Each structure stands twice: as C-alpha cells, then as structure tokens.
Structure 1
C-alpha cells in the first residue's frame, strides 16, 4: 500500500512541477499563481504546499535538473584539449539559457530572494569547480598548463568568469553575443596558465 501511495505522491509532484513550469513560461514567474498551477495540475490548491514550500523551489529544482543534464553533456573525452573542455562546459550553459530563456531569467532575477535557488547555484558551481579542477590537473600532467599554476584557483577563476559573464549578459538585456564573449574570456584565462 505504501508503494502505491508513494507512486501517487510522485505523480502529483511531477504534475505540479510540469504545470508550474508551463505557467512560468506562459505568464511569467511573478504572475503565475499557485491556484493556476494547481488547476492546471488537476489538484486542490493546498496540495501544492505538500510538495513545494514556494514557487522558487520549483525554479530551483528546474535549474538543478537542467544543469545536471548539462553536466552529463560536458563529459571530457581523452583526446579533448583543456580549452575544448572548458568551452564545452560554457557552451552547454549558454545552450541551456537559450533553450528556456524565461526560466533562466526568472532564476537569475529571483535568486537573491531565494535561499533554495542560491543553494542550488552553489551546488552547481561546486560540481563544475570539482570537475574542472581535475581536468586542469590532467592538463598539467600533459604539459598543457604550467605546473606552478594552482589548479583549484584556476578552476575558481573559470567558474566565476562563466557565471559572471552570464549574469552580465542577463543584466544588460542580452546586449552582447554570450557565446563569443565567453570564448574570448576563457581563451584569455588559459593564456595566463599556458605552459
């Protein structure tokens, strides 16, 4: 019986999640009401709070799932240069922003007000940082990066550059070519560390 109850609960949660994302896309995050989300999901309004404390939790879940998917697409191959690996990670973030710009902008706009979104951003940045640090160390072993360069610091610079450029792009109304700007900044970072 517990298995059926858990399965039903998971289906309701997924219905609320999908309905919320559709409402965010159609009406905007701010204007999407919990009542409309529940109506679209076919559940009573109070049911929402059994699954999500706030709307921002849904946005945080979306961002986490999207970035984990981007992480999977960023897996390094043995013959890949460090530059190619760093560009691929940045390209996947740019692609994500372009695929769902309404949700991406909402996540950016409401992050300062949401501990849950901020936590998810930190966890995402930490995952990328760990992976890139390992990739930089491997590049040092192959002579791509100077041995005296601190891999952890270079990785932190990379992560802050990518997130900073994306924020700048959003804050300026997407007024410049994000992909080209990221590529230029990443190349500049690597020039500082090249053997």
Structure 2
C-alpha cells in the first residue's frame, strides 16, 4: 500500500534544522556575517522554506517564544473582567511552562560570541512590548488609570522576559523557566514600592 503522506521533512523538523544551522553559523561567523542564504545552505533547505517559518534572520532565535507570546496575547484578550487576577497569573504561568533548551537559550548564553548583544536587547524589547500591550489593554478594561495600566503591564511583561533570560544564563538545562518566573514574581512582590515614592 502506498502512503499518502507528503514527501520531505516534517514542518517541525525543518524549523528546528534551520534554527540549529543558524546557531552554528552565528557561533562560527557571527550574526552580522551570516545571511539567510548561508542558513538555508547549511540546513539544506530552500530560501522559500526559510520564509515559510521565519520572517527575518533574528526570528529564528525567537520563534518558540513568539508562538507562546501570541498565544498569551490571544488568551489575555478573552479574559473576563471578573477573573482578571487569577487568569493573568495562569496565562503568564502557561507562557513560561515547559520551555525546552532552544536556539534562544543558546543565543542568550553565547550572545557575545555570536555578535548578538545589541540584537538580543532590541528583540527582547519588542517581545516585551507586545506582551505589555496586551496586559495594558486588559488592565484598562478593569478600570485602572492609563498610568497604572502601563506600570502593571511593564512590570509583568518584564518578569516574563527576565525569567527567560535568567533561565538561559544559568544554563538552560538547570531548572526551568517556570522556576525563574516564580523568582521574578517574588521579586515583583518584594519591590520597595513605597521607598521609590518618597
């Protein structure tokens, strides 16, 4: 019997292959000296295959987290007003759950060697802003002032990105992003808010 499955690599495999190839090249040549053509050649896939998965070279590193943030943004937009507190915590906890070591963790750990320091800062800010905007919208729906909404949203989105960075920098195989997020939540709770307003 002939199988009806399509020939070629499974989608996840090609995506992972591209990410692995990109990280290898970033380590060998540096980020700026690596082109999309270099990545596709190393991965053994076409340029169009690359753009089926990623919109830019830097998205190779962020795609896993981008998928999680997109899911969180969608979930945050659907939170009922009467359950915001518990739902926000659940959504953010889900966002950071079950992270596996990936190209982003490798890049954060080897940013200098890959020539990615500035790129990672800029890209992290974009991801934080995307999550912060969704959190701000939710906070505004609950009736808080725009200033309070900005502060709450920035704080919680920073906690998520700080957890990912702390996890990667401590060695992605050591502990979990969820554990680092719990640390970030404790840090937020322990902030000396009153001392800052005196």
TM-score band, normalised by shorter chain: 0.5 to 0.7
Going from structure 1 to structure 2, the CA distance change for 1:185 and 1:66 (only over 3 Å counts) comes to: closer
Asked if 1:82 corresponds to 2:85, the answer is yes
User: Residues 106-143 of structure 1, C-alpha deviation per residue, up to 9 Å, x if partnerless?
Assistant: 2423387265544432222111111111222333x3xx
State yes or no: 1:179 paired with 2:174. Answer: no
Match of 2:153 in 1: 155
Equivalent-residue separation in structure 2 for 1:66 and 1:89 (angstroms): 10
Point out where structure 1 has 5 or more consecutive residues left out of the alignment: 1-14
* Structure-2 change in CA distance of 1:80 and 1:190 (3 Å): farther
How many angstroms apart in 2 are the aligned matches of 1:186 and 1:120? 23
Indicate the RMSD between aligned Cα atoms, in angstroms.
4.6
What SS does the aligned partner of 1:173 have?
coil
Structure that is richer in helix per residue = 1
Question: How many corresponding residue pairs?
Answer: 166
Unaligned ranges ≥5, structure 2: 1-12, 194-198
Query: How far apart in 2 are the matches of 1:132 and 1:124?
Result: 13
What does residue 129 of structure 1 align with? 132
TM-score relative to the length of structure 1: 0.57
Question: Corresponding residue for 1:68?
Answer: 70
Q: Are the counterparts in 2 of residues 133 and 152 from structure 1 also a CA contact under 8 Å?
A: yes
Spell out, residue by residue over 1:45-87, the C-alpha distance to the aligned partner (whole angstroms, 9 max, x if none): xx69x979x9645335565455435544555431533242134
**Which residue of the partner structure matches residue 170 of structure 1?**
168
